Structure 1
Amino acid sequence: MNSSPAPYTVLITGASSGIGYELALGYLKQGARVLALARSEQRLAQLVAQFPELCLPVTVDLSSAEDSQRAGEWINQQIQHLDLAILNAGTCEYVDVANLTREPFDKVMAINWQGTLNTLLFCLPLLRRCKEQGRRAQLVGISSMASILPMPRSQAYGASKIAVEYLFNSLRVDLASAAIDITVVRPGFVKTPLTQRNDFSMPFEQTAPMAASNIMQGINKRKWLVQFPWPLVLVMRSIAVLPLRAQVWLLQKISRAQ
C-alpha cells in the first residue's frame, strides 16, 4: 500500500460475486478502503460484516443512468479521491443466429457497455484527484479473451468487450497527463455463477480466487494488458495470427466438435 496518510481507496463494480467479490475481498485483506458496487445487497453485506471499517457497500444498477448518477453523488460525499477503479461488472448472453432477436444484445450492452460508461462518469473525476495526493491513480477494465477472436454465439458479448477495450485504450492516450494508468484485463474461463450456465467445455478454467490473484498482480505491476491463463493465451494468439479465412474455418471446426 501507498505510505501516504491519505487512505488507499479502491472502487470495484460487480463486487457481489465471482471475480469482483474476490477482488474486493483481496483488497480489503490488504487494508484498503473498498467501495463495493453491485445490485445484490445481500452479498455486499457479507463483505461489510467481515470488514465493517473498510468496506463501503453501494447497491446500484449500473445499467441505469439515473441510478448510477445517484450512486455517484453518494460516493462523492464519502470520499475525496480514488486510487484504483476496477470496472468489472458484466454479463454474458449467447446469440442464437437461427432465431436472431435484440434481447441478448440489449442485455449485454446495458451492463457491459452502458454500465461501464455510467461508472466512468462519476469515478474518473475521483481518479483525477489522486494526483493531488502526489500519486498516480489506476483505471482497470475487465475485458475477455473473446475480444481476440470471432467466437461462436458470442456476437453480443464479444462486441461489448471489444468496445470496452477500445474505450480504455483510447483513454490511455487522452489521460497521459492526468497521472492515471490504464490496465485492460482479458481473463480466460473463470468458474463463476455466470459461467456455470455454459453448455460447452471451458479449457484451462480457473477459480475466481485464482483469477483475482492474477488480476491483482497485474494491477500491482501497472501492466497495460493482463491476460491469463497462459496456455489459453498462447492458443488464442496462435489462431489470431492466421488469416481471417483460416481463423473462421478453424473456429467453425472447433465449434462443431463441441
Structure 2
Amino acid sequence: MSRYSNVPSRVLVTGASSGIGYELARLYLQQGSDVFLIARSVDALSSLVEEFPDHCTALPADLSSEQDSLRVGALLSAATDYLDLVILNAGTCEYVDVENLTREPFFKVMNINWWGCVHSLLFCMPLLRNAAAMMRSPQLVGVSSMASLLPMPRSQAYGSSKVALEYLLNSLRVDLSNQDIDITIVRPGFVKTPLTERNDFAMPWLITAEVAAKKIKLGIQARKWVVQFPWPLVVLMKFVAWLPLVVQISLLKKISRNS
C-alpha cells in the first residue's frame, strides 16, 4: 500500500455493529479490504460476515473489559501481523442529571469511550507499527464529537470522554511523529443512529450514518488531521468556542434545562 493508496488492505473497526461503525465497515468491505469487526454482539455483525465472507472477520468483545480486550487482542494478532487502518469508533452517550448526581453515567461512558479506546490501542499499536515497518503508512482514527469543543448542557460525562480521547490522540501524534503512523480525529455532528434516537432534544443538521461514513472515509483517505461536519454546525461551534469563556457560558446557559 503506497502512502496515497485509497484501499487499505487490512482494516479494524470497533463499535461496528450499528451506526457509523457499521457503515464504515461496509464501505471498506465493498472496496475489497479485509475488515476486522469488533462489537459486543456477534449477532449484530453477522449480516456483514454473511455478505462478505471472504473479507470480513467478526471479533465479538466488550472493549471496556481488560480481560475481554486481552482475549480479542490475541485473536487479532493470530489472524493478522499488521493493520493498515484502525478506526476507534466504539462509544456510548449518557446524559447527566446535575440535580441528582450519581457515578453511573460517568462510569458507563468512561468505561466504553475511554477505557475501550485505551484497551484497543494496547493490541492495535504493535500491528500498526508492523505496517509502518513494512512501509505501508498506517493510520489511526478516533471518532470524537463536536461536543468536545464546548461545555454543553448535560454532557459532563460524554464531553469529558471525548476531550480525553482527543488529548490522547494528539499526544500520540507528537510521540509517533517519527514512526510514520498518521492520526485522524473525527468530530461528527448529529448523526441518525440507535444512540441519537434516544435524544429528547432537537438535533440540527441531522444526517444519516451512511452519509456520515462517506464523509469520514473521504477525510481518512485525505489523511486529514481533523474531519468535522456538517459545516454549518462546525462554523457555529467554532465561533462560540472562540469567544471568551464567560460569553460561552452565558450563551450555553440559554439552552440548559436548569437555566
2:218 matched residue in structure 1: 217
1:170-181 equivalences under 5 Å are: 170-181=171-182
Structure 1 residues 24-59: Cα deviation after superposition (integer angstroms, max 9, x where no partner)? 000000100000000111121110000000001000
How far apart are 1:135 and its partner, in Å? 1.9
In the alignment, is residue 155 of structure 1 matched against residue 156 of structure 2? Answer: yes
Asked if 1 retains the 8 angstrom alpha-carbon contact of 2:36 and 2:57, the reply is yes
Secondary structure (helix, strand or coil) at the match of 1:53 reads coil
For 2:132 and 2:186, the matched residues in 1 are separated by: 24
Cα distance change, pair 257–96 in 1 and its aligned pair in 2 (3 A): closer
What SS is found at the alignment partner of 1:200?
coil
Q: Separation in 2 of the partners of 1:26 and 1:255?
A: 38
Structure 1: 5+ residue stretches without partners: none
Look up the equivalent residue of 1:234 and give its one-letter code. Answer: V
SS, match of residue 183 in structure 2: strand
Aligned ranges 1:61-80 → 2 under 5 Å: 61-80=62-81
Query: 2:39 touches 2:45 (CA, 8 Å); kept in 1?
Result: yes
Question: How far apart, CA to CA, are the structure 1 residues paired with 2:132 and 2:99?
Answer: 51
Matched ranges for 1:197-236 at <5 A: 197-236=198-237
Residue deviations 1:176-232 (CA, integer Å, cap 9, x gap)? 111100000000000000000000000001100011001000000000000000010
Correspondences of 1:113-124 after superposition (within 5 Å): 113-124=114-125
CA distance in 1 between partners of 2:258 and 2:236 (Å): 17
* Matched position secondary structure for 1:86: strand
Taking the TM superposition and a 5 Å limit, the aligned residue runs for 1:20-169 are 20-169=21-170
Task: Provide closer, same or farther for how the CA distance between residues 77 and 178 of structure 1 changes in structure 2, counting only shifts above 3 A.
Answer: same
Q: Give 2:242's aligned amino acid.
A: V
Give the whole-Å Cα distance in 2 for the aligned partners of 1:101 and 1:257: 17
Q: 1:225-249 CA deviation, whole Å, 9 max, x = no partner?
A: 0000001000101111111111011
Q: Name 2:251's counterpart in structure 1.
A: 250
The corresponding residue for 1:239 is 240
3-state DSSP of counterpart to 1:199: coil
Q: Give the match's secondary structure for 2:227.
A: strand
**TM-align CA RMSD:** 1.7
Alpha-carbon distance between aligned partners in 2 of 1:97 and 1:175, rounded to the nearest angstrom:
39
The whole-number CA distance in structure 2 between the counterparts of 1:257 and 1:192 is 27
Relative to the length of structure 2, the TM-score reads 0.96
Structure 2: where are the runs of 5+ without partners? none
**Hey, what's the Cα distance between the residues in 1 that align with 2:71 and 2:258?**
48
Local SS of the residue matching 2:256: helix
Aligned partners of 1:140 and 1:127: how far apart in 2? 12
